[in-house]
Amino acid sequence: MVFESIKGEARAKKMILGAVKNKRISSSYIFYGFNSSEMADFAREFAKLLNCADLCGKCQNCKKIDLNIHPDFVVLQPEGKKNTIKIDMIRELKERVNIGPTEAEYLFITIIGADQIEQEAANSLLKILEEPPSKVVFVLIVSNINNLPKTVISRCQCIIFSGNEQITEENVGLPNSNSIYDLLQYSSSNYPVSKENDRQEALRKMESILYTLYRNKDFDKVYKTMNAVKMLKNNANVKIVFDHLFLSLGGWIR
């Protein structure tokens, strides 16, 4: 089964599977969420999917990617005292990208903690992303998208990971009230959500906020709002959730 090891994230799975099936693969993606290791696992499955149609787990591509020894599966992560992605790392990456895939169909580059990239390195990365070589796919894994230059963000297709529920730029299927209620229901089974007026009102409000933010492509705020939904899901106090959301959106809700 494709993406068997990844729980939830149905939209991301559908989107990636659709892209691979229709051969409409972007050259660069941003995976945005709190759980970097889950996103890195997702990226690994994506790499296998590109290089082995049925993720057999047995061929050379699958095996080597799983063991991190595939020459066409490159993973970068922050290094050194400052724990950053440095210019030298991007220079080296550029050389590797110029060679292209050697064994598999695609060269797959995952940058974990891409939001910890130094300015000079970001500029250099941007140049690579601006002229994407064929058969090379980048995945930038970030927890704080505000640390990534807007120019880099604009080159990438953004996928937001938010626990079991996430939104993608591609997938305009916004969570409607039903799906938000579902989300709430299944994780708080002993809480009578449907009888809680405040909570329903809060969710309705969040839905309209989400819709506006989504239309404005304000993914950082979408993500914060999704987190507020998550807090409600965990039975947090409605007022506290709203106060928190209000603060984190910078007083955006009126």
Spell out the residues 6+ positions from residue 2 whose beta carbon is closer than 8 angstroms to its own: 13, 17, 45, 49, 54, 55
For position 129 contacting Zn ion by CB under 5 A, the verdict is no
Beta-bridge mates of residue 159: 31, 168
Distance CA 228, CA 41 (A): 25
Residue least distant from Zn ion (Cβ):
52
Check residue 59 for interaction with Zn ion (CB under 5 A). yes
Smaller CB separation from Zn ion, 5 or 237: 5
- Using the 8-state DSSP alphabet, how is residue 7 labeled? -
Annotate each residue in 1-40 with x if it binds Zn ion (CB under 5 A) or - if it does not, as one string. Answer: ----------------------------------------
Q: 104 near 120, Cβ under 8 Å?
A: no
CA distances from residue 88 to 28, 78, 94 in whole angstroms, order as listed: 20, 12, 10
Between CA 126 and CA 94 the distance in angstroms is 11
- Closer residue to Zn ion, CB minimum distance, 66 or 196: 66
Q: Which of 53, 56, 99, 240 binds Zn ion (CB under 5 A)?
A: 56
| Stretch binding Zn ion (CB under 5 A), from 30-38, 56-64, 81-89, 219-227 | 56-64
Q: Which of 130, 126, 210, 167 is nearest to 31 (CA)?
A: 167
CB of 47 to Zn ion, least distance (A): 11
User: Of 59 and 249, which has the nearer Cβ to Zn ion?
Assistant: 59
Is 62 near Zn ion (CB under 5 A)?
A: yes
Residues that bind Zn ion (CB under 5 A): 52, 56, 59, 62
